[in-house]
A and B are shown apart, each in its own frame.
Chain A
Amino acid sequence: MPDFFRHITRLFLREAKLVVQDHSLLLTLLIAPLLYAFFYGSIYSYKVEEKVLLAVADDDKSELSRTFLQQLSKMQIVEVVGARDLKDAQEKMYYGTCQGYLYIPGGVQKKVLALQQGDIVLAVNAARFLPSSELAGAITTLALTVGAGVRLKYNEMKGLNSQMAMRETQPVNLDYRPMYNTRSSYGAFLLPGLLALILQQTLLIGLAESMALDKQKKNVPEMLHMGGGSLSATLWGKGLFYLVLFLCYAFFFLTVNYSTLDIPFRGHAFDVAVAFIIFFFTLIPLGIWLGTLFPSQLMAAQMMVFSTYPVFLIAGYAWPYESLPVPLQWLSSMVPTTPFLRVYQSVVQTGATLADNVPSVLHLLALTAFYMLLALLGLRRLNKQQQSLSL
């Protein structure tokens, strides 16, 4: 047993030296995670989008339309841009100076006073998903509120006292309680997952590059020799450097980044720590196995770059797992990101415990065993190949 630890220590030091000497590994493993975390994180630091530009063409120019527009300009989501007429408003949207337009035709107030429905038109550029949906939702709410105001006045005119008139105005109300992200902000949703993804991808790219470099330089027999001939000592000796480094990063992200970006942390630190340890124990063999497949360090870097978006998109974070086609659900289940993000999101954002996520934890553990086996087989194959070449 002491021999096993001695071998692991030697390989750990060897890996540290390799990383320090290789510019690319140094950049990927020591600079990129920190730079990315602050860089990407800062994008969403305001969390929600505000002041979406909306052109307004008011042909009614009545008291009602002015009240409507006054209320509109008070909304955080909207920044009103004046337009001469409907055509001008449309052109503004076509040139990208606004995300949509609101048109109030002449005679709206007249119709409302005559107890007829007044029509107004909202057109939003739904090709831009987030601002347009926010805009449409906010203006719909405003139209309903103004409508309720008209009803309130009518009820008061009918002789009801203000309390009764108020009750009659809106008999059924919606009380919306968005849980765990009270402002329903995109930033608060995306940031925790993004930070975990940065850790995952920089670890995988760095480790796969390092393993591919060892393969390229035919260093696998030497590595195995340092590991006392034990494949698992070689795997974990090489991997230990990444485990220590990325656990430090995870700690840093969950403390410094979470506090600077103002991300709420609702779970227990112990649960998150355990989740991260299992996650890294899965990623390390996966990274080593992937590295054994690439012919060179360059190819490893080139190919791994293109894994980031697909892995994130099929992990069930940005798009529900159940809404993926079945073959992609199978593929998603083979990626450690899927069960990890489920546990991590549940613990960090909703305050759940590991006990609430037993199936996902078991899933992650099964993947650990699976990728460990693949990594050991990959190392054995490379060792045999390179030994026979040296003979």
Chain B
Amino acid sequence: MMLRSIINITIREWKRILTLPEHCIVLLLLPPLVCFLYGYIYHKQFARELPVAIWDESNSPLSRKFTFMLEQTESIHITQQIHNEATIEQLMQRGVIQGAIHFPARMDDHIKSRQPIYVTLYTNTAAVVTGKLIYKDAAKVLITAGSGVILQKLMKTGMPQGKAMALVQPIRLTSYLLYNPQFSYLQYLVPGLIAVALQMMVIMVTVLALNLEAQRGTLPELTVMANGSASSVLLGKGLAHLSVGWLHYILVTAIVYPVFAGGRMGGSWALFTLFTLLIMGCISIGFMVSAIVSDVMVACDLGLFYTSPAFVFSGFTFPRWAMPWYDQYYAWLMPFTPFLDGFFKVYFMELPLHYVYKETGQLLIYIVITFPLALFFLQRRMNKLKLQHA
């Protein structure tokens, strides 16, 4: 009997999802749009060919060689030749250049006469992404070039190449940038942005799942259908929303992640488990708000204020440990935070489920706390309704 009413409520909820614009647009129309937009924004993966000026007071073979090497890098594109520091500032303020490199006068002569020289790199770090990219490439070129100069000097003294090389770089650091070796923005940002958008969508709809019924006068019909049982309502509606969540999972793991972000087709069992727990957590939280707050607009605003900060607080772009303690606590109010920690492991690092036991446990806490609260408040409302009708 209960099972039948749950199934009926699930079917009814699916019909509501398909027909109510407040549900249909957010759950079915927006996800593909948002997914493709995010994928498309970072389509080029890297910021390339950033405008950089050269201030060459040396005008020597060496400075020209360095300039050529800088131009060969991915992020640097030499667009201007300038003649003083003031121009660098002016051009940066007008957004014409993002960086500049200065070669001092008589650079070659100084090197030959054992005078260390300083090549200056200026970056407009008000835009930190471009500033860091230019620094990374310029530093690589200038360190390599500097090492070349040392190598030549040592070999001129008659030292064999192997030994000279060992002195140029006595400690050879081999760096492995695991899971995103090229620091691709596409690979890094898109999966997380999409996950946060999906959790927002689920919460923004489920905060309306119960109070909208009351506002539109359909709650008595639902109560009858559920035989007055709040658990049947929540389970029936929850199943419908969970199945929509699985559709989202198919969309992102079968199309968006593989096509746009180089992800594995279909994801993995561990990712599916983690995603399901996130969706269940979001559904429970949404139901709880919807059962407690009867004004749909206020519930919608609560959903908005609750979900909007999830991305920045989760530590995706700026690590949580670098935030003040109260922000770190606040981050734990949102299920996206443990999800993200687990997501790094199962999606990017492709680790099996046992590595995310802590995160799955944390996600379960959201469900265990909010679902009973939703149940309690809804049952109270349904009982009141019953009494009114009696």
Contacts and interface: CB of A to CB of B under 8 A. Distances in A.
B251 interface: no
A323 B34 contact: no
Interface string A173-185: 1111111111011
A129 B316 CA distance: 9
A275 B188 CA distance: 34
A43 B351 contact: no
B177 to A, nearest CB: 4
A391 interface: no
A262 interface: no
A177 B120 contact: yes
Interface in B133-153: 135-136, 138-139, 142-143, 145-146, 149-150, 153
Contacts of A50: 322
Nearest to A189: B128
B183 A178 contact: no
A173 B171 contact: no
Contacts of B259: none
A224 interface: no
Max chain A Cβ within 10 angstroms of own Cβ: one of B22, B46, B119, B319: B319
A314 B39 CA distance: 12
B71 interface: no
B352 to A, nearest CB: 10
A86 to B, nearest CB: 12
Interface in B84-130: 89-90, 92-95, 111, 114-130
Nearest to B51: A322
A255 interface: no
Interface stretch (B302-310, B366-374, B379-387): B302-310
B83 interface: no
A144 interface: yes
A118 B174 CA distance: 11
Interface string B310-330: 011100011101111011001
A129 B330 CA distance: 22
B163 interface: yes
Given A140-B175, A350-B124, A118 B170 contact: yes
B119 A43 contact: no
A351 B93 contact: yes
Interface residues of B, number: 115
A370 interface: no
Contact of B41 (A174, A324, A342): A324
Contact of A23 (B177, B295, B349): B295
Nearest to B30: A306
Interface of A: 22-24, 27-28, 32, 35-36, 39-40, 42-46, 48-52, 68, 94-96, 100, 108, 112, 115-133, 136-137, 139-140, 143-144, 146-147, 150-151, 154, 164, 167-168, 170-182, 184-190, 205, 295, 297-299, 301-303, 305-306, 308-310, 313-314, 317-320, 322-325, 328, 342, 345-346, 349-352, 356-357
27 contacts: A27-B298, A43-B324, A115-B167, A125-B348, A126-B181, A127-B180, A127-B349, A129-B188, A129-B317, A130-B317, A164-B114, A171-B114, A171-B117, A176-B135, A179-B125, A186-B317, A189-B127, A301-B300, A301-B301, A306-B30, A310-B41, A319-B185, A320-B129, A322-B47, A323-B46, A324-B44, A350-B92
